[in-house]
Amino acid sequence: MERWLCPSGGAWLLVAARALLQLLRADLRLDRPLLAALVLLATLDWLCQRLLPPLAALAVVAAAGWIALSCLARQPRLPVATRAVLITGCDSGFGKEAAKKLDAMGFTVLATVLDLDSPGALELRACCSPHLKLLQMDLTKPADISHALEFTKAHTTSTGLWGLVNNAGINDVVADAELSPVAMFRSCMEVNFFGTLQLTKGLLPLLRHSSGRIVTVGSPAGDMPYPCLAAYGTSKAAILLLMDVFDCELLPWGVKVSVIQPGCFKTESVQNVGHWERRKHLLLANLPQELLQAYGEDYVEHSHRQFLHSLSLALPDLNPVVDAIIDALLAAQPRRRYYPGRGLGLMYFIHHYLPEGLRRRFLQTFFISPCLPRALWPGQPSRTPTQDAVQDPDPNLGPSPMEAQ
């Protein structure tokens, strides 16, 4: 009883009353984020009681609890009405599932695919309403993007364009930056950055007119130095910064910009082990001899096995990402960043607050553990860099066709 009569006990009563009210209104869910917030609040209460005067402790705990409940409260959503949205990369994965769910909600969905006869395109035709329109588009081809812009304008004359979901992207090489062809860096940038940039800029007049939404599927690899994802990660870092720029510049127009940073989910491309095997063999076949001798085939094989192991732990349910996309499109005040997936909160905490050495070890342990290159094995003779060392791997090791995320 004495516990609840102390000042901080009064703060807990205030927090409990608001939480109960929000639960009754369905503005709050009894889930892990709420439980985690209560644990952190209890820790803060314990510290405040030992470090602050009673009234100061009351103010801090009450304010922290109020802010936490405000952040956890569900944002009111806008009506779907006749809103239209363009989604890229709908052949598979997040794009296909988002297109299906948005169509079921009543959106007019314009879904781009690489191939109008792909299994994903055929599935969308079979299970979605006539309001969903399929469009072939390759983000590496300016003519395709120009056609998509005209197609979008023609199909949104009565409704306007409410949202753009930039989902399409590629990643076709898993290797150290030195082993990854420069051509692969360029290919990732062409799809993940330049193609997305061109499409987004072309649709901005429509989005400004509707004060609509831009939602882009990024990756934690664009925030953190994931081992063996240099080409993919740098392209995602570029698009993340671009979206932050758009967020600032489009604020006066009422356009809201969100980025989805998903963890590892079992999309079709993730589950395609044969694809990753072929890319590994192509990488090994085209590595300059000096690089192959310096790193060794065992090094590449080790990275490949570690990568496949991490993919085997991917989450099968894509709904958290799809729900984040929907919230970014319809929430009255959408978040600038969404982090659907397991363990991302811990990863970002480590990345932002722990020393660099611990951050690096965590990523290596979580994703691809370190392996010593062959030239650094004990007893190996010292090597003098040759001309081959500065040559890029065969430019013919280009990417396979663009895959949806």
pLDDT digits (tens, 9 = 90+) for 26-75: 667 776 777 888 888 888 888 888 888 888 888 888 888 888 877 777 66
| Phi–psi pair at 240, nearest 5 degrees | -65, -45
The fraction of the chain above a pLDDT of 70, given in percent, is 90
Tens digit of each residue's pLDDT (9 = 90 or more) over 232-257: 999 999 999 999 999 999 999 999 99
Domain that holds residue 356: 84-366
**With bands split at pLDDT 50, 70 and 90, how would you rate the model's confidence at 109?**
very high
Give the model's pLDDT for residue 27. 66
In a domain, 323, yes or no: yes
Torsion angle defined by CA atoms of residues 298, 187, 85 and 160, in that order, rounded to the nearest 10 degrees: 170
157 and 224, same domain (yes or no)? yes
In a domain, 391, yes or no: no
Average pLDDT estimate for 272-297: 93
In a domain, 78, yes or no: no
Pair 18, 120 in one domain: no
Least confident span in 1-5, 21-25, 87-91, 281-285: 1-5
Q: Does one domain contain both 362 and 317?
A: yes
Residue 269 lies in a domain: yes
Of 19, 47, 72, at which residue does a domain stop?
72
3 state DSSP class of 181: coil
Out of 232, 295, 338, 339, the active site residue is: 232
User: Tell me, what CATH number does 105's domain have?
Assistant: 3.40.50.720
Claim to verify: residue 28 and residue 159 sit in the same structural domain: no
* Bridge partners, residue 113, by sequence: 136
Query: CB-based contacts of 377: which residues, under 8 Å, 6+ apart?
Result: none
Check the CA dihedral 229-92-269-312 and report its sign: positive
Do residues 322 and 302 make contact, with C-beta atoms less than 8 angstroms apart? no
> Do residue 59 and residue 114 come from a single domain?
no
216 and 149 housed in the same domain: yes
Q: Strands, E, within 204-269: which ranges? A: 213-217, 256-260
**pLDDT at position 71, please?**
75
In angstroms, rounded to a whole number, what is the distance separating the alpha carbons of residues 112 and 136?
Answer: 5
**Assigned domain for 79 exists:** no
For residues 298 and 376, is the Cβ–Cβ distance under 8 A? no
Rounded Cα gap, residues 37 and 73, in angstroms = 12
**Are 26 and 157 members of one domain?**
no
Residue 118 to residue 373: CA distance in whole angstroms: 41
How far apart (Å, rounded) are the C-alpha atoms in residues 266 and 270? 6
Sheet holding 163-166, edge to edge: 133-136, 108-113, 84-87, 163-166, 213-217, 256-260, 337-338
Distances (CA, A) of 13 to 40, 46, 349: 16, 16, 30
Q: What would the mean pLDDT of 214-222 be, rounded to a whole number?
A: 97
Distance between CA atoms of residues 291 and 172, nearest Å: 20
Q: Does the residue 182 lie in any domain? A: yes
Active site residue 348: no
Q: Are 364 and 264 in contact (CB under 8 A)?
A: no
Q: Are residues 23 and 100 in the same domain?
A: no
Q: Do 140 and 50 share a structural domain? A: no
pTM of the model: 0.80
Q: Radius of gyration of the chain from Cα atoms?
A: 25
Q: How many domains does the chain have?
A: 2
Task: Summarize pLDDT for 115-153 with one digit per residue, the tens.
Answer: 999 999 999 999 999 999 999 999 999 999 999 999 999
* Whether 334 contacts 76, CB under 8 Å: no
- Do 22 and 105 belong to one domain? no
Q: Are residues 268 and 344 in the same domain?
A: yes
- Residue 1 within a domain: no
Please indicate, yes or no, if residue 403 is contained in any of the structural domains: no
CA separation (Å) from 252 to 211, 256, 329?
9, 10, 18
Tell whether 55 and 109 lie within a shared domain: no
